[in-house]
Amino acid sequence: MAGVNRKLLLDCALCPNMCRCECPVDKEYGREAVSPSGKARLAHLLLEGHLDWEEDLLEAVSSCLGCRGCRLLCPFPELDLCEELLQARTVERPPGMVLPAAAPYLNNLKKFGSPYGTRPVAQASPQGGSPEVLYFINCTAQANHPRSPQLVLELLEAAGVSYRVMDQYCCGYPAQIWGDMELARQLAEENRDRAAQSGARLLLTDCPECWHTFTARYPQWGCELGLPVVDAATYFLELVQQGRLKITPPEGIGSVTYHDPCIWARVAEMTAAPRELLQHIPGLELKEARPAGRETRCCGGGAMFQLTFPERSAGIARRRLEELPPADAVVTSCPFCRENLQVGGGKVLDLAELLGLAALR
């Protein structure tokens, strides 16, 4: 696994910090220490031994959503600050040091394979045989809004796609965030073995953090998943284009505002597929957030923030909601955004839920 790039971290520590206007954490806390360059300065001083790893400093350098908003204004194209901060926390923090707020979730992860203490069990489609799709149900939807993964399965069945639900463990990213790389690798190896046993052609995920972990982090951890990983928006768009799902107007929903999750928009550069999918729904008005697409702003749910810093996370979600024009529902394609944006009390759906209303009647 790559270590910290100390030269880049120092560049960031010495930078005028203009990107702080794009950092949702900086805006919410209003504290220099958790601004992008502020976190880089603390990480630099910790790594160089000028500061000791104490709980408040670990909390400050952990106060990053991984949203990459700072990259929009960063003069160093090769710098991915959230990854440098993650590496600093993963590789350099004293062994066993865990934020108290993260400890119960890390314990769940060790004991049950999910931060929430429950995890999906294997399930096969009625077609039997080697499945086309291995569906990886993300821990957050499974624990908090299980109707959404259930609708994914119903949509696959309606389109005649054979599938298997993975008897899975968490993708492992939360373990890395909370500093336990041994556990992260162990979870990755479990998932790699189950993916290989499934005989499926591809792995389907509706979680951008899982997608990023499978495609970018597993290779860094020396554990290739061995299956192509496809996001749900792209996959369902193909099914709709092939005429395998019949789309009708969803009852009670005439307009939606699409919120781009930051990893899909800025890492996967996947902004067109969900919009195209929404445009296939007859009579649906699509409204755009300001900002949208690559310039989107985080909902506050990235990097497990809503578990470890719930009040701050909700505050960031409220700020994001102010940037979304009114519509019958907010639609998104990430389980964390789906959950966090509910803080305003409005209707929030993920793509599968909206598609379920439009294609499963």
Separation between Cα atoms, residue 148 and residue 220, nearest integer Å: 30
Q: Which is nearer to ligand SF4, 68 or 259 (CB)?
A: 68
Instruction: Return the residue of 15, 165, 200, 351 that touches ligand SF4, per CB under 6 A.
Output: 15
Q: The dihedral of CA 15, 16, 20, 25: what is its sign?
A: positive
DSSP strand pairing (163-165 vs 123-124): antiparallel
User: Measuring CA to CA, how many Å separate 95 from each of 8, 109, 174, 182, 224?
Assistant: 24, 17, 16, 11, 26
Q: Which is nearer to ligand SF4, 43 or 151 (CB)?
A: 43
- Side chain identity at residue 349, one-letter code: L
By CB under 6 A, the residues from 17 to 76 that bind ligand SF4 are 17-19, 22-25, 36-37, 40, 64-70, 73-74, 76
Query: Is the separation of the CB atoms in 117 and 108 below 8 Å?
Result: yes
Q: Is 175 in the site for ligand SF4 (CB under 6 A)?
A: no
How many residues interact with ligand SF4 (rule CB under 6 A)?
26
x/- map, 75-104, ligand SF4, by CB under 6 A: -x--x-xx----------------------
Nearest to 125 by CA among 168, 169, 156, 167: 156
Separation between Cα atoms, residue 5 and residue 23, nearest integer Å: 21
Query: Is the separation of the CB atoms in 220 and 1 below 8 Å?
Result: yes
Of the candidate spans 8-16, 127-135, 151-159, 264-272, the one that interacts with ligand SF4 by CB under 6 A turns out to be 8-16
Q: Which is nearer to ligand SF4, 90 or 168 (CB)?
A: 90
Q: Is 12 in the site for ligand SF4 (CB under 6 A)?
A: yes
Nearest distance from residue 17's CB to ligand SF4, in Å?
5
Q: Which is nearer to ligand SF4, 26 or 328 (CB)?
A: 26
DSSP strand pairing (329-332 vs 229-231): unpaired
Nearest distance from residue 140's CB to ligand SF4, in Å?
19
Separation between Cα atoms, residue 212 and residue 325, nearest integer Å: 29
Nearest distance from residue 76's CB to ligand SF4, in Å?
5
Binding residues for ligand SF4, rule: CB under 6 A, are 11-12, 15, 17-19, 22-25, 36-37, 40, 64-70, 73-74, 76, 79, 81-82
